[in-house]
Amino acid sequence: MRARQRWLFAVLPLLILGFGGEGALRLAGWPKKDPGREFTHGDVYWVEQGSLHLEPFPHKETGGTFRVSTDANGLRTPLHAEKKPDGVFRVMTLGCSTTFGWGVDDDATMPARLEALLGEAGHPVEVINGGQPGHSSFQGLWLWDKTLARYEPDLVIFGYVVQDARMVAYSDSSQALLQQNADFLKQSLLHQSRLYMGGKQLLAAWQIRNKDVAANSTVNRVPPDEYVENIRAFKARADAVGAKFALFGFPLERAGYTAEHRGVLRSASEVLGVPYHDPQADFERWSAGETLFFPQDRGHANAAGLDKIAKGMAQFLIAERLVP
């Protein structure tokens, strides 16, 4: 009994201090959102406009336009009903503008070509284009919980790498914390604590100020440790809906800044025991003699490049017996 009383007297001041501090911070309205630091999109999470039909999108790098169609949820072609028909096998491709098909018309995107190629090879499937311009795996998890899971995929292809590895002043999670995005803060009970949130915001602000001083100091939008956790989280979500899971290193003309994250994908494949497809080395070789990317926009494959990516992906899925 005495030991219990000693324990209570030891813990009680900490509880009073913690709850008192939490209440005082809530009354004071601190920490406050920092409106001066925003994503290019102006928010932590975003999605393309829904129900577009052959909408002309400007490709500022080339000076041309390309036509985009989307469903009601803002997902690009191939367009399929949200509810999966009986007997249909669905493949969901996840990624950024490279998966979305930036710069090409609807039927030339990698997901559209993949659906056509698999059908021609005797593997009829529906492919859901889960790519969104500018998305990293950070936004992807939100989009899955908000929308993508409702499409009932049988195979989920994790293709986030280009935006996750991009170097910026501060990470997506730091940005979300500074903006006090409600969806992000709901992800954890800790994020609902003003004491915890305030401490994290002070740390993030300190890191950012130091980066502002050292102009060359940058971080990945999704640092490697967070990237690993996001891969695990997506694998768990795929498992929860009974879907197979595969990793994909969407190729660039040169691996460049994405090399470390591609290494993470390779390691994750081994640890999680899931298939991994990365045609990066092939594309670096092929690009020496073919025009597979827009000359004015080296970050996006053109129609010929996307067709090669889709053919390689179709061969991979068939070889790994990931499609029926």
pLDDT digits (tens, 9 = 90+) for 227-255: 999 999 999 999 999 999 999 999 999 99
Residue with tokens 């768990």: 236
Report pLDDT for 278.
Answer: 98
With a cut of 70, say whether residue 203 has pLDDT above it.
Answer: no
* pLDDT tens digits along 210-221: 544 444 557 899
Report pLDDT for 296.
Answer: 93
The percent of residues above 90 in pLDDT, for the chain, comes to 70
Task: Outline where DSSP puts E strands in 169-241.
Answer: 219-220
With a cut of 50, say whether residue 305 has pLDDT above it.
Answer: yes
Q: Which amino acid is at 21?
A: G
* pLDDT tens digits along 88-135: 999 999 999 999 999 999 999 999 999 999 999 999 999 999 999 999
Output the pTM of the full model: 0.83
Cα 231 to Cα 237, 248, 273, distances in angstroms: 10, 11, 12
What is the C-alpha to C-alpha distance for residues 242 and 279, in angstroms, rounded to an integer?
Answer: 27
Fold of 55-167+220-319: Rossmann fold (3.40.50)
DSSP label at 43? S
Of 196 and 153, more confident: 153
Report pLDDT for 218.
Answer: 79
In contact, 34 and 205? CB cutoff 8 Å: yes
Report pLDDT for 184.
Answer: 79
* pLDDT tens digits along 24-48: 544 555 445 444 555 666 788 999 9
Task: Outline where DSSP puts E strands in 203-265.
Answer: 219-220, 244-248
Report pLDDT for 178.
Answer: 74
In contact, 98 and 109? CB cutoff 8 Å: no
Q: Which amino acid is at 66?
A: F
HSE (CB half, 13 Å, CA atoms) of 164?
32
Sequence spans of domains, the chain: 1-30, 55-167+220-319
What is the C-alpha to C-alpha distance for residues 81 and 90, in angstroms, rounded to an integer?
Answer: 11
For 247, list phi and psi in degrees, rounded to 5.
-110, 145
Report pLDDT for 6.
Answer: 59
Cα 29 to Cα 34, 63, 229, distances in angstroms: 13, 47, 31
